Structures are given as C-alpha cells and as structure tokens.
Amino acid sequence: MHFMKDMADNSHKLNIPTASRVLVIVPAYNEAGTVGRVVAEIKGVFSGLEILVVDDGSVDGTAAEARSAGARVVELPFNLGIGGAVQTGYRYALEYGYDVAVQLDADGQHDPADLPRLVGPVAAGEADLAVGSRFLAPNGYRAPFTRRAGMLLLSLAVSLLTGHRFFDTTSGYRAAGARVIEMFAAHYPADYPEPESLVAVRRRGLKVVEVPVGMRSRQAGFSSITPWRSVYYIVKVLLAVFVSALRGREEAEDEWERRRIPFDCCR
C-alpha cells in the first residue's frame, strides 16, 4: 500500500505509469563507504522505488550499511564478480514480477537524478533497454586518452556487430523492461557484461535507446583502472564481444543453471 501511494505521489517525477513496479539493482563489492548514501539518495529522488543491493561477497560491512539505509539485501556466499551479482538482481526482478529493473553502481558515480530519463522510455513501452550514455550529456565525459580511444573502438565494434549506433557501450547505468529482465535472468555475461549484453539484446531484435546521463567522481575508494589496464581491458572485451556474437543461446542458459543462487539469502 505504501509503495502504491508513493508511486501515485511521485509518478510525475519519473513520468512512468503508476502501475509499474520498478526495482533498482545495486551490485556492491566492499562499498560500505558509499552504498548507504547511494540508497538514501535514490530514496530522496523517488521514495516509491524498491531497492535491492546485491552484496557480492563483501567483507567490509556493505550489507549492513545497505540494510540500515532501507534497502533489501541479497548476500552472495562468495564473490561472483559483476556479471554474477547483476544477474542475481535480474533473477530476483523476474521471480518477483517487476516491470522495470534499473542497474545503478554502488560507488556513487551514477546520479539517481537521471532515473527519470532511464525509466521513462522503458515503462512507456518505447524501448526494451535504456542505456545511460556519458557521452551524450551536455558537459560530456572526460576520460583519459587511452581509455577514451578504447571506448570509441569498442563502441564502433559493437555498432558494426549489431547494426545499431552506440555511443557508450561500457555504461553500467541502464533500465530494462520485462523481456530484457527475462533474458538477463537466464544469462548475463560474467566478465565484460555491458558490451556483451548489448550484442545479445540486439541479436534478439529488442529495441535499445541511449539517453544522456551525468558521471560523477567516485565518492570513496579508488579505481583499479590504469592506462595499461585500460588497453588490456579493451583488447579482452573486443575478443569477448566477438565470441559473444557467435555464441549459442542454449550454452548461455546452461551457464545460468550452474551459477544459480537461491533467494532464501535475501532479507
């Protein structure tokens, strides 16, 4: 009842139908310093959204901070990596009947104020997946040269493979509709999920749109990405994307069954 009241009171902020159930998936690994603030900020933008923090085997109190801030928490028994954590969120969204699922990072770099731009086109049925693009924002995203060049190369490769022009293929800020939720619950790439999943979605004939979003500095901790690691990452992602384009659906779904996590760990 409280959720539906919040939906009615706040739907004008997000421009979504009041009947839509929206889940925000926040994958987190050792993000105790930021996850509580991220959850609070999401609630400040739109109190009716339900928030699921997927604690990917953290050892620093991430789950406790998320729970204290009012989020539901799934605690994975060990670290699966970003793909496994996000897929767990999509599986939860599918099993509990959500209409839209939003991915949002726990490090504070994604601005919850951009939620309306992502949720709107998906909830309205105008797109199956909305991707937040840092490069479409008015101020633009300033990345180091090697990283920006790699991102451009990767975007060109994904665009060629899918026949759809993409500007930001590594963005982890996105909103998925029912068909994509079902697809990602069955399989979500483990190592380089953002570009690989775009290829998979387009191969299914689903509609993807990019919307401009801002990108903030990490609020705590540090990034492990150096210029040389950026080059290494891009080369590996390019290989993974081309392999993903050739991979069979049945093999992907078998992988989910091997990695499946029960939800009795959620509280």
Give the model confidence (pLDDT) of 64-87 as tens digits.
999 999 999 999 999 999 999 999
Write down how long the chain is. 267
Q: Is pLDDT above 90 for 53? A: yes
Asked whether the predicted pLDDT for residue 264 surpasses 90, the reply is: no
DSSP string, 33-65: TTHHHHHHHHHHH-TT-EEEEEE-S-SSSHHHH
Q: Identity (one letter) of the amino acid at 117?
A: R
3-class DSSP assignment, residue 75: strand
How far apart (Å, rounded) are the C-alpha atoms in residues 267 and 261?
14
> Which residue carries 């993807």 as its tokens?
208
Strands (E), 138-231: 174-176, 208-212
pLDDT per residue as tens digits for the range 127-182? 999 999 988 876 665 666 666 777 788 888 888 888 899 999 989 999 999 999 99
- Model pLDDT for residues 182-240, shown as the tens digit of each residue: 999 999 988 778 988 998 899 899 999 999 998 876 555 555 455 566 666 667 776 77
Spell out the domain ranges in the chain: 2-265
Q: Residue 178 is inside which H or E element, if any?
A: helix 178-186
Burial degree of 256 (CB within 10 A; 0-12, 13-18, 19+): middle
Give the separation between CA 192 and CA 183, rounded to whole angstroms. 17
Cα–Cα distance, 33 to 18 (Å, whole number): 33
DSSP 3-state assignment of 86? helix
Q: 102: which 2 tokens?
A: 């939003």
19 or 240, greater pLDDT = 240
pLDDT per position as a tens digit, 231-254: 666 677 767 767 766 665 445 455
The pTM of the whole model exceeds 0.85: no
Alpha-helical (H) ranges within 46-168 are 62-68, 82-95, 115-123, 145-162
Distance CA 215, CA 248 (A): 34
CA–CA separation, 43 and 25 (whole Å): 13
- Stronger pLDDT, 157 or 8, i.e. the higher one: 157
Please state which of the four CATH numbers 3.40.50.1000, 3.90.550.10, 3.40.50.970, 2.20.25.10 is assigned to the domain occupying 2-265.
3.90.550.10
Q: Report the alpha-carbon distance of residue 188 to residue 90 in Å, rounded.
A: 9
Nearest to 29 by CA among 59, 51, 52: 59
Report d(CA 201, CA 124) in Å as an integer: 19
